[in-house]
Amino acid sequence: MIIYNVTSNVAASVHDQWLVWIKEHIPHVLATGHFTEAKLTKVMVEEHEGATTYSVQYRAKSREALENYYLNDADRLRGEALKMFGNKVLAFRTELELIDEYTVKTH
């Protein structure tokens, strides 16, 4: 399984607006049909100048599904954020390959 991770450093001046926007944006990304789920997390680090960092992890259905997302949807969806927030939100993307998952079994 492939996890498509988008890490965004959000300036304090647009934080509240961005947080509302990202919660509306994630369902649009999922609606492309290339992913099975997404998790929005806050990165727990001290930031300078009041910025906050978030990570959205999308589980891709397959490597091919992620490639299709890049080809058909990524530019349009990324463009929305750039248009709204410009350089007030700095994002970088990484691809993670899930090797194994472990859970604690309770009785």
The domain segmentation of the chain, as residue ranges, is 2-96
Return d(Cα 60, Cα 65) in angstroms, integer. 6
CA distance 59 to 101: 13
pTM for the model stands at 0.90
Sheet holding 2-10, edge to edge: 35-42, 52-60, 2-10, 89-97
CATH match for 2-96 among 3.20.20.140, 3.40.50.2000, 3.30.70.20, 3.30.70.100: 3.30.70.100
pLDDT computed for residue 5 by the predictor: 98
pLDDT of res. 20: 98
Are 35 and 64 a contacting pair, CB within 8 Å? no
At residue 7, the pLDDT reads 97
Please give the angle made by the CA atoms of 26, 28 and 31, to the nearest 5 degrees: 115
Q: Is 35 exposed, middle or buried (0-12, 13-18, 19+ CB in 10 A)?
A: buried
pLDDT below 50 — which residues of the chain? none
